[in-house]
């Protein structure tokens, strides 16, 4: 069971930490994050929203979302997926403006993202495009992880997994809602005490 308790970030999450795979899962701060974009090509398209949820030992500590001005049109076909329009982002900051806050939010944590290669590639391209420093967090793909943990869920989309795991939340292709879903499903599926087993089940880690 996961308890939603919005509170200030734990002090341990603000310190520079070296995360050891031999650690207990209960000792690790995780951040589930998600991006919404103008398309599927990280070289050409841009991020329009980032959502992130910080949790530890079954408690959601903090959640955050950022609408981002991509400085280009959001195709109508993409708007129909996530519902984010030009009017919603025209006065929002650019990615480079929100990145320091995002980087501070994820500091000292292990990251989770559903179909993580997509989100990692988009965030990584935005960081490099704006000549910023890449974060050193490991990123675990919750899609691979949940396929291992919930083999009877068909398919393994977030909406199908949310129904199967009975998390009581409905992911809706918005970055924060989808991040919350990943965190809740993770807590439903976790059976091991060791972080090394989580890494193994996820097929290893990605980096930005």
**Cβ(103)–Cβ(66) below 8 Å:** no
Query: Are the beta carbons of 73 and 44 closer than 8 angstroms?
Result: no
Helix and strand numbers (H, E) in the chain are 8, 6
Q: What is the DSSP letter of 131?
A: T
Sequential DSSP letters for 94-127: PHHHHHHHHHHHHTT-EEEETTHHHHHHHHHHHH
Q: Are 206 and 118 in contact (CB under 8 A)?
A: no
- Between strands 59-67 and 47-56, the pairing is antiparallel
Catalytic residue (one of 76, 114, 156, 173)? 173
Distance CA 11, CA 67 (A): 27
Angle at 140 between CA 40 and CA 36, to 5 degrees: 30
The separation between the first and the last C-alpha atoms of the chain, rounded to the nearest angstrom, is: 31
Active-site annotation holds for 156: no
List residues with catalytic annotation.
173
């Amino acid at each position: 069971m996961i308890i939603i308790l919005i509170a200030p970030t734990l002090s341990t999450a603000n310190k520079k930490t070296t995360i050891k795979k031999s650690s207990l899962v209960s000792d690790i701060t995780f951040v589930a994050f998600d991006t919404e974009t103008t398309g599927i090509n990280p070289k050409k398209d841009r991020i329009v929203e980032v959502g992130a949820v910080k949790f530890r030992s079954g408690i959601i500590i903090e959640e955050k979302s950022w609408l981002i001005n991509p400085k280009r049109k959001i195709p109508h076909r993409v708007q129909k997926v996530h519902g984010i329009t030009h009017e919603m982002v025209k006065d929002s900051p650019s990615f480079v403006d929100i990145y320091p806050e995002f980087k501070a939010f994820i500091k000292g944590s292990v990251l989770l993202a559903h179909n993580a290669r997509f989100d990692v590639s988009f965030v990584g391209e935005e960081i490099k495009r704006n000549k910023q420093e890449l974060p050193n967090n490991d990123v675990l793909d919750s899609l691979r992880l949940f396929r291992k943990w919930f083999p009877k869920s068909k398919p393994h989309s977030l909406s199908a997994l949310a129904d199967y795991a009975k998390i009581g939340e409905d992911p809706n292709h918005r970055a924060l809602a989808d991040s919350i879903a990943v965190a809740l499903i993770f807590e439903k599926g976790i059976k091991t005490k060791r972080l090394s087993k989580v890494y193994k089940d996820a097929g290893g880690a990605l980096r930005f």
